[in-house]
Structure 1
Amino acid sequence: MIEEVRPKGKTPPKNLRRTVSAIFWQHQNGAKWRALPSGFGPWWIVAQLFIRWAKLGVWQHLFENL
């Protein structure tokens, strides 16, 4: 479902699951972006994608589809 609503471009599909998992981890734990475990990749990339997708309405479209 995320593939359908996300903007095409910079995020390679192989990293998409890891990125979404990192975003969910951050929100479930209420931690700062810098506290992301290193297994999720660089925190700043995850934070940047979350903000970009929020501005483009990706999350809104995803939740409407759910």
Structure 2
Amino acid sequence: MPQTQGDPVEVPNHGSSKGFRVHRMTANRWELVRTPQGWKIKRRTLRQLDGSEPARKILRQAIAS
């Protein structure tokens, strides 16, 4: 439990092992539209890269673009 009084302290967020571990891989696709006020996000699609058909589809769309 952090102390509630005293000077501010920075606490690094490091695990106990060296290196890194991948917990989740995702791909996302942003669809934008131009408006009089500038570019706006129309849709964001996020897929976990788990080998499923929706995951493969979003990657195929990226390659085809």
Instruction: Answer whether TM exceeds 0.5 for this pair.
Output: no
Category of TM-score, reference length = shorter chain: under 0.3
Q: TM-score, normalised by structure 2?
A: 0.23
TM-score by length of 1: 0.23
Structure with greater strand share of residues: 2
Larger Cα-atom Rg = 2
* Higher relative helix content: 1
